[in-house]
Structure 1
Amino acid sequence: MSGPPVVLVVDDEVRSLEALRRVLEEEFVVLTARSAEEAEAVLGREWVHVILCDQRMPGQTGVEFLRRVREQWPDVVRMILSGYTDSEDIIAAVNEGGIYEYITKPWDPDELVRSVRRGAELHRLQRENRALALELRMAEPTLARAVAEKGARLRRRFGFDAIVRGEGSPLEALCRLAARIAAYDIPVLLTGESGTGKELLARAIHYASPRSGRPFVVENCGALPDQLLESELFGHKRGAFTGAFADHEGLFAQADGGTLFLDEIGEVSPTFQVKLLRVLQEGEFRPLGASRPRRADVRIIAATNRDLEAEVRAGRFREDLFYRIAGFVLEVPPLRARPMDIAPLAQHALEAATRRFGKEVQGFAPETLACLEAYPWPGNARQLVHEVNRMVALADGPVLGPDLLSPSVLHARAAPRPDPVAEEAAGTGGGLRERVEALERRILYETLVRHRWNKSRAAEELGLSRVGLRSKLQRYGLDGDRRERA
């Protein structure tokens, strides 16, 4: 729309017509007509955005005239003026959508201008929507290709091939099994410790399924109390509870046609388990404060770090809900059970961290990888990623040395092979001499690892001469080739 919007005012009374023109002409281009016939002539030769018509006119009413305008000039936004607030014809015309706004007499000048302004904005939006729809129709083949390419990119980014694993990893068989069931619309329960990558596996299942073109939505069920969880999953209407200032669409509605991943499902309270069971059984839910239920076609993938079967036996988790979500159960092994995955996971985390932090770090020193592989990783892959991020943040050079490791990870490599003396020193048995020697051996090894087996630096830190250090290394069997211990 170029220039001010054009408004056609139709009224058979000259004084009323002039009053309307004076109020509107400061903001709009105002055309006038004193009859329906004269208005049609104007519409035939001028580009009109909004028409404002009086209801009482000779020959035909304003409603009848605007109905004819709708047939011949459907783009024009139609508004009517009337002093009859209870006219059934006018109310019916407004309700059926033929008239945009009904303005009662006597009208307020400021309110009248605001109403016409809204009508002009509606006309602009309608034109933009039509233009956009035309562009979309013309671009439909290109759009289809773009959607297909986006789907392929998402599958590459989140598919099974994107799950980092080493050769011979237990994840290989797990991914093959998950890929086989992905195509079938059954619920999946993922079990395993926190941080093992259950959400990554859930995403891979989604993007390998027929639902891959629809949303994948995630909710952590253990992070919210019941009312907030119910609002998040099912939605709420404005005023349903304190703080509900607007309607909120729940995750079931957002995931319609796609997949809803319910993480930490084992943390859900018994009360909410009943509500969740009904949704899964009936396929419908009721937003908080709503009078009618809604339906959603959603595939459920749930995850837990609890033993849900034990929870069922203990009466803390509903048996019927368990069988609703456990259509197929997949257990993700912890990182300590798949040490072959540690090096590729660490490298993957390193590449991500260097991009995020803007640092040029090429890789890990052999001693560093040895320490990473010796550590049991109770926090699993998530803890490993945090450890690598920490090292990259502290790094000053292109190689991550063992001096950058957290003490707990560094200590895990202090005993490269089983040592009865060290084990005894770590416990309560053994005499003082044996326990002191085991501690001394541990300190020597940690210091050598930290200095990358540079004996001069290790001796300096420990306050020993090189001869004295060499003697102690021979005594404790630490004088061999360090690569044998890596």
Structure 2
Amino acid sequence: MAPLSTVLIVDDEVRSQEALRRTLEEEFEVFAVSGAEEAHGVLEQEAVHVILCDQRMPGTSGVSFLKQVRERYPDTVRLIISGYTETEDIIAGINDAGIYQYLTKPWHPEALLLNVRAAARLYRLQQENQQASLEIRTAEPVLRKRVEAKREALRNLYHFERLIRGEGSPLHSVCEMARRIAPYDISVLITGESGTGKELLARAIHYGSSRADRVFVIENCGALSDTLLESELFGHKRGAFTGAYENRVGLFEQADGGSIFLDEIGETSPAFQVKLLRVLQDGEIRPLGSSRSRHVDVRVISATNRDLEADVKQGRFREDLYYRLTTFSLHIPPLRSRAMDIPVLAHHLLREAVYALEKPVQGFAEEALQAMMRYPWPGNVRELRNEIVRMLALSVRPYLDVELMSQHVLNASLEEDLTPRESDMAGGMLKDRMDALEKRVLRETLNRHRWNKSRAALELGLSRVGLRAKLLRHELGKESPKDKK
């Protein structure tokens, strides 16, 4: 259990002193004295975190006493409490005495507790900050090595091969084009549906450029209002708007020398687009509430799942900003149009899930992979990852089979197979046409029973051995190790 924060009460009125003590002593270790001389004695003997001092005391004022405390014990958090008549004197001395909070009489117990808790928390943060600064100074050589090692690891992690793809995938040409333009400081717009890997491609471009040793920052432009987005990107000065309690450095300034990834750029309002265009044109940002602009050197990579060309024609997106963002554009095709990527992606995502859930399996049954390749995956890679994590969580065998898949995935993946196609039934030998129909019936029945072969065999009037023979003949559900008995 952490030690209690210590509070020193300095008040010459006995009743007031006791009231303050009773309010605070359940949460804090409290010392109470009647004047400045006694208070100095306590400060010499005890590690005091917070001082709560009355303004009116014999011999000296609270402000004068706290000025002395600030010089000798600068880390102590100082609060002063007084009636309304001394307000001007206290305000005049607040800066010199370093007073954290001014409380007025009569005070409310809950309000007093809140202020003293905040003061104690500030003291702890100051101590942690000093400790961290000391550790950083003493460990600076080690930290530099670690930073370099981290940068190298990031370069190795976010390269173009990180976008997993199979043989003949359309992603090959996308990655090759991205690799060729990565070294040049030109803006890039990445388009594609949600979940296709636009952020991964943006990271690969950054870490494949001369800016790889500098920072890469991300902002989702569709998640914030104009004011908050402007504050996040360009920063703000204290008091610039309601809730701006301190200065904030924006992401453009943080990314100076590096790259910024603006996701969902198509969701920004026309008013914000004007401000962003000015930054891209001039290379300068002006924090909210500031009268001075600051130059920044940032490469902008943006992304959207919208058709920005259509939005430009409809007047929803500024044409001049569109051309600023699209010196080069790349399109990532959806997963449904690159089924050849699904097996390698599935195995990669399974390895990640096995590591995250600490639940090892050996892989997928063949029929599960075939079902995945037939499903359109409207949520793209993100949906595929979720499905694999779900299957792994439910699994009790070494291989993930179709019985673990979500029903809607199975239904959609086999929808084409449930109704015989005219092309299959219109020509060919009778045996071939009957085989095609039998294969579809088998698959539909297994799907309805979530690939429980015993139930499917019972419905079809077959033995389990007979069903297995038909499945092998039609190359349905190639046996996984759990079926080999």
2:440 corresponds in structure 1 to 446
Farther-moved stretch of structure 1 (113-122 vs 187-196): 113-122
Farther-moved stretch of structure 1 (305-314 vs 196-205): 305-314
Contact 2:52 2:81 (C-alpha < 8 Å) held by counterparts: no
Q: 1:20 to 1:196 in 2, by over 3 A?
A: closer
Contact 1:235 1:249 (C-alpha < 8 Å) held by counterparts: no
Distance 2:271 2:317 in 1: 10
Distance 1:441 1:3 in 2: 80
TM-score, length basis structure 2: 0.64
Secondary structure class of the residue paired with 1:196: coil
Say yes or no: does 1:409 pair with 2:405.
Answer: no
Contact 2:10 2:52 (C-alpha < 8 Å) held by counterparts: yes
Contact 2:9 2:17 (C-alpha < 8 Å) held by counterparts: no
Say yes or no: does 1:91 pair with 2:95.
Answer: no
Distance 1:336 1:263 in 2: 22
Query: Structure 1 residue 143: deviation in Å?
Result: 4.0
2:32 corresponds in structure 1 to 30
* Aligned counterpart for 2:254 among listed residues 237, 254, 257: 257
Q: 1:142 to 1:444 in 2, by over 3 A?
A: same
1:13 corresponds in structure 2 to none
Secondary structure class of the residue paired with 1:190: strand
1:216 corresponds in structure 2 to 217
Distance 1:9 1:362 in 2: 70
Q: 1:215 to 1:293 in 2, by over 3 A?
A: farther
Deviations 1:120-145 (A, max 9, x none): 66555544443343334334344444
**What is the 5 A alignment of 1:190-201?**
190-201=190-201
Query: Structure 1 residue 94: deviation in Å?
Result: 0.7
Q: 1:98 to 1:187 in 2, by over 3 A?
A: same
1:131 corresponds in structure 2 to 131
Query: Structure 1 residue 197: deviation in Å?
Result: 1.9
Distance 2:248 2:163 in 1: 26
Deviations 1:70-110 (A, max 9, x none): 33443455566777846766433213454445567x77696
Query: Structure 1 residue 464: deviation in Å?
Result: 8.6
Query: Structure 1 residue 331: deviation in Å?
Result: 2.2
**What is the 5 A alignment of 1:208-287?**
208=208, 210=211, 214=215, 216-219=217-220, 221=222, 229-234=225-230, 253=250, 256-258=253-255, 260-268=260-268, 270=270, 273-274=273-274, 276-278=276-278, 280-281=280-281, 283-284=284-285
1:164 corresponds in structure 2 to 164
Distance 1:341 1:334 in 2: 11
Secondary structure class of the residue paired with 1:406: helix
Query: Structure 1 residue 31: deviation in Å?
Result: 4.5
Aligned amino acid, residue 320 of structure 2: D
TM-score, length basis structure 1: 0.64
Secondary structure class of the residue paired with 2:196: coil
Paired-residue identity, % = 43
Q: 1:108 to 1:251 in 2, by over 3 A?
A: closer
Secondary structure class of the residue paired with 1:30: strand
**What is the 5 A alignment of 1:29-428?**
29-31=31-33, 42=41, 45-47=44-46, 49=48, 50=51, 52=53, 63=63, 66-78=66-78, 85=85, 90-96=90-96, 98-101=98-101, 123=123, 125-167=125-167, 169-179=169-179, 181-182=181-182, 185-208=185-208, 210=211, 214=215, 216-219=217-220, 221=222, 229-234=225-230, 253=250, 256-258=253-255, 260-268=260-268, 270=270, 273-274=273-274, 276-278=276-278, 280-281=280-281, 283-284=284-285, 299-313=299-313, 315-335=315-335, 338-354=338-354, 360-366=360-366, 368-369=368-369, 372-373=372-373, 380-382=380-382, 384-385=384-385, 388=388, 397-400=397-400, 406-410=410-414, 422=421, 424=423
Deviations 1:342-369 (A, max 9, x none): 3211212333455567765423344554
Secondary structure class of the residue paired with 2:301: strand
Distance 2:474 2:108 in 1: 96
Deviations 1:398-429 (A, max 9, x none): 345567672443466899xxxxx955469xxx
Distance 2:428 2:333 in 1: 38
Contact 1:169 1:341 (C-alpha < 8 Å) held by counterparts: yes
Secondary structure class of the residue paired with 2:330: strand
Provide structure 1 residue ranges, at least 5 long, that are not aligned to the other structure. 11-15, 416-420
Provide structure 2 residue ranges, at least 5 long, that are not aligned to the other structure. 447-452, 478-485
Query: Structure 1 residue 318: deviation in Å?
Result: 2.0
